[in-house]
Amino acid sequence: MRWKKISDAVVRRLPLYLRVLEEAYHSGDVKLMSSQELGERAGVSPALVRKDLAWFGEFGKQGVGYEVRYLREELRKILNLDREIRVAVIGVGSLGHALVRYNQQRYREDQHFNLHVVALFDADPAKIHTRLDGLMIHPIDTLAEVTRREGLQMAIVTVPASAAQQVVDRCVEAGIRAILNFAPAKLTVPEGVHLANADVSLELQRLAYYLGE
């Protein structure tokens, strides 16, 4: 690993900064950006922007700010987004399908967007070996093999909650070390594997709290 023990709170903000920089870079008319400006656009205080970036190096110039093009490039390297990352979607119900379509559109339209869904998996025999949006749907027990063949590094899990832990275990076994889980279930992964949860029900229930205010 390149830098030691960067806290999750810091890593979580890096994509926010990158988004602001991508926007400025592609608009073309902003060459330099201060931590003030970057923070404002990302919703983070300027001091925190500087502190976050300082974990990874010295990217700015005193009295000047950060060069948009350079900092964007560096952030892309830090986030491993400077090369294609091949992603599997496991469970192609309506949510899985929607995520595939979203990703394909994004990947097609933005040549710098390097997260690419290239393999689908499902347990339903009726779906297996058919194509969806141009991608073959594989049976889940070929996960390890397809992971190797296709160079998969990430998985998006959109299977029912009851199957989620089992699917995640298979991912881990296959060597996948970053998983985005949409199933409403508390899953466990071994040390070294990273799991993010995108549980829509949980978010809605949380929001419901504020209706009582």
Partner DNA sequence: TAGATTGTTAATCGATTAACAATC
The residues binding DNA (CB under 7 A) are 7-10, 34-36, 44-48, 50-51, 53-54, 58-66
Residue 91 partner contact from its own copies, DNA, none using kind-dependent CB cut-offs of 5 to 8 Å: none
93 among the known binding-site residues?
yes
Q: Which residues of 79-118 are buried (b: 16+ CB within 10 A; e: fewer)?
A: eebeeebbbbbbbbeebbbebbeebeeebeeeeeebeebb
- The correct pick among 71, 120, 179, 189 for binding its own copies (CB under 8 A) is 179
3-state SS class at 206: helix
- Lookup result for tokens 């192609």: 92
Per CB under 8 A, which of residues 95..154 are in contact with its own copies?
95, 97-99, 101-102, 106, 113, 115, 153-154
Q: Could you tell me which residues come within 8 angstroms of residue 60 by beta carbon, excluding any fewer than 6 positions away?
A: 35, 50, 53, 66, 71
60 among the known binding-site residues?
no
Q: In three state form, how does the secondary structure of 32-73 look?
A: EECHHHHHHHHCCCHHHHHHHHHCCCCCEECCCEEEHHHHHH
- 148 phi and psi angles, rounded to 5 deg: -65, -50
96 among the known binding-site residues?
yes
Q: Residue 194 and residue 179: Cα distance in Å, rounded?
A: 6
Give whichever of 15 and 46 is closer to its own copies, judged by the CB atom.
Answer: 15
Of the candidate spans 65-73, 140-148, 167-175, 180-188, the one that interacts with its own copies by CB under 8 A turns out to be 180-188
At residue 22, what is the residue type? E
Give whichever of 27 and 94 is closer to its own copies, judged by the CB atom.
Answer: 94
Q: Residue 208 and residue 146: Cα distance in Å, rounded?
A: 41
Of the candidate spans 30-38, 60-68, 140-148, 172-180, the one that interacts with its own copies by CB under 8 A turns out to be 172-180
Q: Residue 199 and residue 210: Cα distance in Å, rounded?
A: 18
Beta carbon of residue 185, minimum distance to DNA (angstroms, whole number): 21
Site string for its own copies, 4-43 (x = CB under 8 A): -------xx-xxx-xx---------------------xxx
Rule CB under 8 A: which residues touch its own copies?
A: 1-2, 11-12, 14-16, 18-19, 41-43, 78-81, 85, 87, 93-95, 97-99, 101-102, 106, 113, 115, 153-154, 156, 177-180, 184, 186, 192, 194, 196, 198, 200-213
